Amino acid sequence: MIKPNKLKPGDTIATVSLSWGGAGDETLIHRYLIGKARLEEVFGLKVIEMPNTLKGTKFTYEHPEKRAEDLMAAFKDPNIKAIISNIGGDDAIRMLPYIDFEVIKENPKIFMGYSDTTINHLMCHKAGLMSYYGPCVLMEFAENVEMHEYTVDAVIKTLFETDPIGLIESSTNWTSERLEWDSVENQTIRRTMTHEIHGYETIQGHGTVRGKLIGGCIEVLDAARGTAIWPDLDHFEDAILFLETSEEKPTPYLVTLILRSFVATGIIDKIAGIVIGKPQDEAYYEEYKEVYKDVIGFEAGRPDLPILYNMNFGHTSPFFVLPYGAMAEINCDESTFTILEPGVK
């Protein structure tokens, strides 16, 4: 995997709307501008928008080719050092016919986002570029009142520094509280934080395993199977698969079906371990654990496969950053997770 150069204060980055175009809607532009200001003030970056970034929900939905044009142009522009997704959605897959993978490969730079942006990460992966499953503009960067220190530290350590990222500790608190974004007043209200009572949990497995990171939002991964961006099976060899569930809070039955497809396609036989993000609102918290044990431990006959649960990435806040292709370690006995190499060069 090609590892991008690190960010530094003063660098120019571009924001893009690759799925839902809400960042440009009249009722939500205030939140986008807060996220943009945080990128500039907290991290010292210069933020620009691509031509179609803020054209709104209707235009963005109707023109997947324009989303792709923005992404390709951002990669081509040598003055742009990183690209950050505004938000996820549900149809980034419609960009696929318009993507030039050589453009991504020949112009390596940081790309970050999560949720439906999993599709765009798989595009980068196909091109051989390390990308970053992490915060987007409308969520973590535009967090009410101020950003979570945990998220700020993770972004700096992953994207601005060239030391190994190291041990990823569990956040001491978290939130999934929903305060409607179309209310300007809500932006001045801190979301209620919940004290973390579980920490990282080892669902099954013993000892320590290492592998390169690959994964994303489980429902989006399921939608990508069989497409041109789905990784060949050998990309899962000795990998650590990271999975999280969306704000749709998929039922345990749906997660069961998706995991069974991973078993049937040979992925579970290949990987070294799994790390799983905290479910939004801790919905189905215990039920999901049972699903993983049933499908992987019992049905697939892999009770030995290390699975670490309840980690701070995905559809809860705060958020650490997962670099695709980076070597990571699960310690089942200590319930710890470490990223063993730098995120950037």
What tens-digit pLDDT sequence spans the chain (345 residues)? 999 999 999 999 999 999 999 999 999 999 999 999 999 999 999 999 999 999 999 999 999 999 999 999 999 999 999 999 999 999 999 999 999 999 999 999 999 999 999 999 999 999 999 999 999 999 999 999 999 999 999 999 999 999 999 999 999 999 999 999 999 999 999 999 999 999 999 999 999 999 999 999 999 999 999 999 999 999 999 999 999 999 999 999 999 999 999 999 999 999 999 999 999 999 999 999 999 999 999 999 999 999 999 999 999 999 999 999 999 999 999 999 999 999 999
From residue 188, alpha-carbon distances to 143, 156, 177, 199 in Å are 10, 25, 14, 29
How far apart CA 308 and CA 332 sit, in angstroms, is 7
How far apart CA 290 and CA 308 sit, in angstroms, is 13
Q: Are residues 192 and 117 in the same domain?
A: no
Structural domain contains residue 344: no
**Of 112, 130, 162, which residue is a domain's last?**
162
Q: Are residues 32 and 69 in the same domain?
A: yes
Tallying the residues shown for the chain, one arrives at 345
Q: Are residues 179 and 318 in the same domain?
A: yes
Residue-level pLDDT at 323? 98
Q: Please return the burial class of 28, using the count of CB atoms within 10 Å of its CB with bins 0-12, 13-18 and 19+.
A: buried
Using DSSP, state whether 344 is helix, strand or coil: coil
Q: Are residues 140 and 205 in the same domain?
A: no
Find all residues with CB under 8 Å of 270, minimum gap 6, and list them: 233, 234, 236, 237, 238, 239
Residue-level pLDDT at 102? 98
Which residue range(s) make up the domain with 278? 173-339
Structural domain contains residue 1: no
Residue-level pLDDT at 185? 96
Q: Are residues 26 and 57 in the same domain?
A: yes
Structural domain contains residue 105: yes
Here the tokens at position 281 are: 């609102």
Residue-level pLDDT at 269? 97
Backbone phi, psi, residue 339, to 5°: -100, 115
Tokens 């690759």 sit on residue: 18
Here the tokens at position 313 are: 């990435």
How far apart CA 101 and CA 228 sit, in angstroms, is 11
User: CA angle at residue 203 from 253 to 208, to 5 degrees?
Assistant: 135
Q: Please return the burial class of 156, using the count of CB atoms within 10 Å of its CB with bins 0-12, 13-18 and 19+.
A: middle
**Of 162, 185, 215, which residue is a domain's last?**
162
Structural domain contains residue 226: yes
**Letter string b/e over residues 133-154, b meaning 16 or more CB atoms within 10 A of that residue's CB:** bbbbbbbbbbbbeebbebbbeb
User: Is 45 within 8 Å of 7 (Cβ atoms)?
Assistant: yes
Q: Are residues 230 and 320 in the same domain?
A: yes
Structural domain contains residue 22: yes
Structural domain contains residue 108: yes
How far apart CA 112 and CA 45 sit, in angstroms, is 15
Q: Are residues 119 and 213 in the same domain?
A: no
Q: Which residue in 222, 247, 240, 285 sits closest to 136, CA to CA?
A: 247
CATH number assigned to the domain comprising residue 198: 3.50.30.60
What DSSP element (H or E) covers 56? helix 56-62
DSSP secondary structure letters along 130-185:
--EE---IIIIIT-SSS--HHHHHHHIIIII--S--EE-PPPSEEB-----TT-TG
**How many distinct structural domains can be found in the chain?**
2
Residue-level pLDDT at 142? 98
Structural domain contains residue 168: no
Q: Are residues 189 and 329 in the same domain?
A: yes
Distance, C-alpha 210 to centroid of its chain: 20
Structural domain contains residue 167: no
**Of 162, 187, 202, which residue is a domain's last?**
162
Q: Are residues 63 and 212 in the same domain?
A: no
Residue-level pLDDT at 1? 94
Residue-level pLDDT at 274? 98
This prediction has a pTM of: 0.98
CATH number assigned to the domain comprising residue 46: 3.40.50.10740
User: CA angle at residue 265 from 209 to 253, to 5 degrees?
Assistant: 90
Check residue 207 and report its DSSP letter: S
Q: Are residues 158 and 177 in the same domain?
A: no
Q: Are residues 257 and 151 in the same domain?
A: no
Q: Are residues 72 and 212 in the same domain?
A: no
